Amino acid sequence: MLLKLLKYDIKAVWKIALTVSLISFGVAAMGGAGYAAYINGLANDSDSPFIFVGFFGYLFSIFAISGACFTISIVVFSRFYKNLFTDEGYLTFTLPVSRNKIHLAKTLNTVIWSVYQVIMAGICILIYSFFMPKSNIDSGINMFEFFFEPISREFAVWDVLTIIESLLTFIALALFSLCLVEMCIALGAMLVKRGKLTLGIVLYMLISGAVETAGLILIILESLFFDFSHLSNTPQAWVAHAMGAGLMFVNMLLSLGVLFLTYFLTQKIIDKKLNLA
Amino acid sequence: MFEHLKHEQPTSGVLECRGLTKSYSRGEPPVLRDFNLSLPSGRIVGLLGPNGCGKSTLMKLIVGLLTPDSGAVFISGEKTSYKTNGYVSYLPERTYFDPSMKVCELIKFFSDFYTDFDPSVAEKMLTSLNINKNSKLKTLSKGTKEKVQLVMVMSRKAKLYLLDEPIAGVDPAARDYILETIISNRNPEATVIITTHLIHDIEGVLDDFYFMGRSGEILMSGEAEATRKEQGKTLDELFREVYRCY
C-alpha cells in the first residue's frame, strides 16, 4: 500500500516537474551562452551592449532555475496540504491504509522530489559549464581542490566515524527542513478552520527563525568548549579538535532529535487532531 | 409520545456504536452523548434529523475520520480502524476527489486501493449517466461530480455503505436514478445508512428509520413500512410532527 500511495504521489507531480526541468535546462543553456558572450566580450574589450545583455541573461537564468526548483517544492507541499487537510482528506483517510503509511508516503514523496531538484540543479550547472571558458572551469576545480586537499592529505584525521557523523548530520538537517514544512502545515490545519495554509506559512517563518536563532545560540555555547583559534590552522586540526570536544557527535544527535520530533509531531496531528471541516 | 415505536436494539450486527460521545471543543456540549446503535446486515436505514444533530459526525466516527471522546464503534465485530475501511464504503456530503484527476484515473485509483471495487460496474453506471470517463473532474458540474462520487462508492461490494446526504446536491430528476442506483448496486447482504433531511424523496427505499434529536439521541426508530401502516402517515409527515414537538 505504501508503494501504491507513493506511486500516485509521484504521478501527480512528474508532469509538472518534467516540464519545469526542461524549461530550466533551456534557460541554463541560454544563461550559459549569455555568460560566455559576456566573458568573450570582456576579453576582447568589446563595447557592444550585447555583452551586458548576456550578463543579465545569465543572472536571470540563475533566478529562473531557483524559481523552478521552488515551483516543484510548492507543488509537492500543496499536494501534502490538499490531500491531508482539505476535503480531499475524506478520501485519503478512508482508504484502508494506516495513517503512518499515508504520512510516510507523503514524506518520501517530498524527499524524492527534493533529490530530483538537486539533480536538476546539477544538470543545469553542467549545462552552464559546457558554455563556460576552460579557464573558468579550471579555476573552479582549483578552488575545490584547495579546500579539500589538506583533508585528503591527512585522511587518518578525517576518519570514517567523522564522515558518518557529518553525513548523518547533513542528511538529518536536510530532512528536518522538509519535515518542518510538513509540521507547520499540519499545525496550521489543526489550529484554525479558515486560512489553514496561511497560518502554516506564518508558523514556518516563525519556527524556522527560532530554529536558526537556536542554532546561533548553540554555536555560542559550543564556543565555550571549543577553541576557535584552531580555525586559523589547517582544516584537519579543526576537525580533530571538534572531534575531541565531541561536537560532531552532539550536533548529529541534535539534528536527529529535531528531525524525529518534527516527524512525530506531524504524525500525532494526523492521528489525533485532524481538523477536517 | 412515540416510545412504543422504539425497537429493541439488536445485540450484534454489521454496525455497533457503544456509548459514543463526541464534542468538537472543550466547554461546548457534545454533538453526540452516550450514543448507542446496533444495525443488522441487509437493511437500508435512514438516519434522519435536523441540521446539526450529529448525523455527519456519527458517519465520520464510523469511518474513523474523527476520534470519539469516549465509546467505540464496531464494524462486523471489529473495532473501527483503517482495516475496517476496507469494507465500509463512505460518501461524504461534499466533493472530495482531487479535481485534477480524470474519471478513468479515479476508477484505477479505487481498483488499486479497494479490493471490493468492481470497475466494470462503475463503467456501466457512468455510461448510463452519460459521463465521459476521460473528463477531468474539475471540468464537471457540481451535480455530475456528486454522481461520479456516488458511482465510485456504490461500485464497491462493501458490508456497510454510509451515504451522507447523497441526493442533496442533485436535481430532483436525478434523485430517482440515484436511489435506484443505491438499491440495485448494493451488496444484498450489506447495510446502507443514508442521512438526509429530504425524507419525502427517500422514504420509499428505507427499510428502517432513526430520527435523531439535537443532542444526537434517538427520538424514534422503527421499521418504515410498519410505522407508516401503524401511524397512517408517511415518514415525512411523522418527521415534521416529531420535530414540531421537539
DSSP of chain A, one letter per residue? -HHHHHHHHHHHHHHHHHHHHHHHHHHHHHHHHHHHHHHHHHHTT---THHHHHHHHHHHHHHHHHHHHHHHHHHHHHHHHHHHHSTTHHHHTTSSS-HHHHHHHHHHHHHHHHHHHHHHHHHHHHHHHHHS-HHHHHHHHHHHHHHHHHHHHTTTTS-HHHHHHHHHHHHHHHHHHHHHHHHHHHHHHHH-SSSHHHHHHHHHHHHHHHHHHHHHHHHHHHHHHS-GGGGGS-HHHHHHHHHHTTHHHHHHHHHHHHHHHHHHHHHHHHHH-----
Domain's final residue, options A79, A106, A141: A141
Looking at residue A71, its pLDDT comes to 92
Query: What distance in Å separates the CA atoms of residue B132 and residue A155, rounded to the nearest whole number?
Result: 65
Q: Which domain holds residue A74?
A: 1-141
Looking at residue B55, its pLDDT comes to 87
Domain's final residue, options A141, A171, A206: A141
Q: DSSP letter for B204, please.
A: G
| Contact across the interface for B82 and A4, Cβ inside 8 Å | no
Percent of chain A with pLDDT strictly greater than 70: 83
Looking at residue B105, its pLDDT comes to 93
- Judge if A4 and A137 occupy the same domain: yes
- Judge if A86 and A59 occupy the same domain: yes
The answer to whether residue A148 sits within a structural domain is no
Looking at residue A115, its pLDDT comes to 94
Nearest Cα residue to A254 out of A227, A214, A220 = A214
The answer to whether residue A153 sits within a structural domain is no
Q: Which of A92-96, A158-162, B33-37, B223-227 has the lowest mean pLDDT?
A: A158-162
Looking at residue B4, its pLDDT comes to 38
Query: What distance in Å separates the CA atoms of residue A133 and residue B63, rounded to the nearest whole number?
Result: 64
Looking at residue A74, its pLDDT comes to 92
Q: DSSP letter for B6, please.
A: P
The pLDDT confidence band at residue A20, using thresholds 50, 70 and 90, is: very high
Please indicate whether residue B245 or residue A173 has the higher confidence score (pLDDT): A173
Looking at residue B1, its pLDDT comes to 40
Nearest Cα residue to A181 out of A259, A100, A122 = A259
The answer to whether residue A224 sits within a structural domain is yes
Q: Which of A187-196, A239-248, A267-276 has the lowest mean pLDDT?
A: A239-248
| Contact across the interface for B65 and A82, Cβ inside 8 Å | no
Percent of chain A with pLDDT strictly greater than 90: 39
Please indicate whether residue A61 or residue B28 has the higher confidence score (pLDDT): A61
**3-class secondary structure, B186:** coil
What's the rounded mean pLDDT across residues A133-158? 69
Least CA distance to A13: which residue of chain B? B100
Enter the ipTM. 0.85
The answer to whether residue A96 sits within a structural domain is yes
The answer to whether residue A149 sits within a structural domain is no
- Judge if A175 and A100 occupy the same domain: no
* Interface-testing mutation among A10, A94, A101, with chain B (most B C-beta atoms within 10 A): A94
- Judge if A21 and A113 occupy the same domain: yes
For residue B95, the chain A residues in CB contact (below 8 A) are 87
The answer to whether residue A179 sits within a structural domain is yes
Nearest Cα residue to B67 out of A100, A276, A274, A96 = A274
Quick check: B166 and B182 in contact, CB under 8 A? yes
- Judge if A113 and A239 occupy the same domain: no
The answer to whether residue A253 sits within a structural domain is yes
Residue-wise pLDDT for A187-204, tens only, equals 988 888 888 888 989 999
- Judge if A19 and A124 occupy the same domain: yes
Looking at residue B6, its pLDDT comes to 37
Q: Is the pLDDT of residue A145 over 80?
A: no
- Judge if A126 and A1 occupy the same domain: yes
Q: DSSP letter for B197, please.
A: S
Query: What distance in Å separates the CA atoms of residue B55 and residue B196, rounded to the nearest whole number?
Result: 9
Query: What distance in Å separates the CA atoms of residue A32 and residue A38, rounded to the nearest whole number?
Result: 10
Report which residue type is found at B80: T
Q: Is the pLDDT of residue A93 over 60?
A: yes
User: Which residues does A contribute to its contact with B (CB < 8 Å)?
Assistant: 1, 4, 8, 12, 82-83, 87-91, 93-99, 272, 274, 276
- Judge if A137 and A16 occupy the same domain: yes
| Contact across the interface for B98 and A99, Cβ inside 8 Å | no
- Judge if A167 and A233 occupy the same domain: yes
Looking at residue B3, its pLDDT comes to 39
- The β-bridge partners of B48 are B196, B211
- Judge if A6 and A133 occupy the same domain: yes
- Judge if A19 and A120 occupy the same domain: yes
What is the number of structural domains in chain A?
Answer: 2
Query: What distance in Å separates the CA atoms of residue B200 and residue B48, rounded to the nearest whole number?
Result: 11
Domain's final residue, options A141, A169, A195: A141
Report which residue type is found at B90: Y
Q: Which of A124-138, A257-271, B171-185 has the lowest mean pLDDT?
A: B171-185
Looking at residue B200, its pLDDT comes to 81
Mean pLDDT, chain A, rounded, equals 83
The answer to whether residue A170 sits within a structural domain is yes
Specify the pTM. Answer: 0.84
- Cell matching residue B13: 450486527
- Judge if A123 and A200 occupy the same domain: no
What's the rounded mean pLDDT across residues A198-222? 85
pLDDT tens per residue across all 246 residues of chain B:
433 333 334 445 889 988 888 888 777 788 888 888 888 888 899 988 887 788 889 999 999 888 888 899 999 888 888 999 999 999 998 888 989 899 999 999 999 999 999 999 999 889 988 899 999 999 998 888 888 998 999 889 899 999 998 877 777 777 777 788 777 777 778 899 999 878 888 888 888 988 888 777 888 888 888 888 888 888 888 888 877 655
Looking at residue B108, its pLDDT comes to 94
For residue A276, the chain B residues in CB contact (below 8 A) are 60, 65
Query: What distance in Å separates the CA atoms of residue A191 and residue A186, rounded to the nearest whole number?
Result: 9
What's the rounded mean pLDDT across residues A134-148? 76
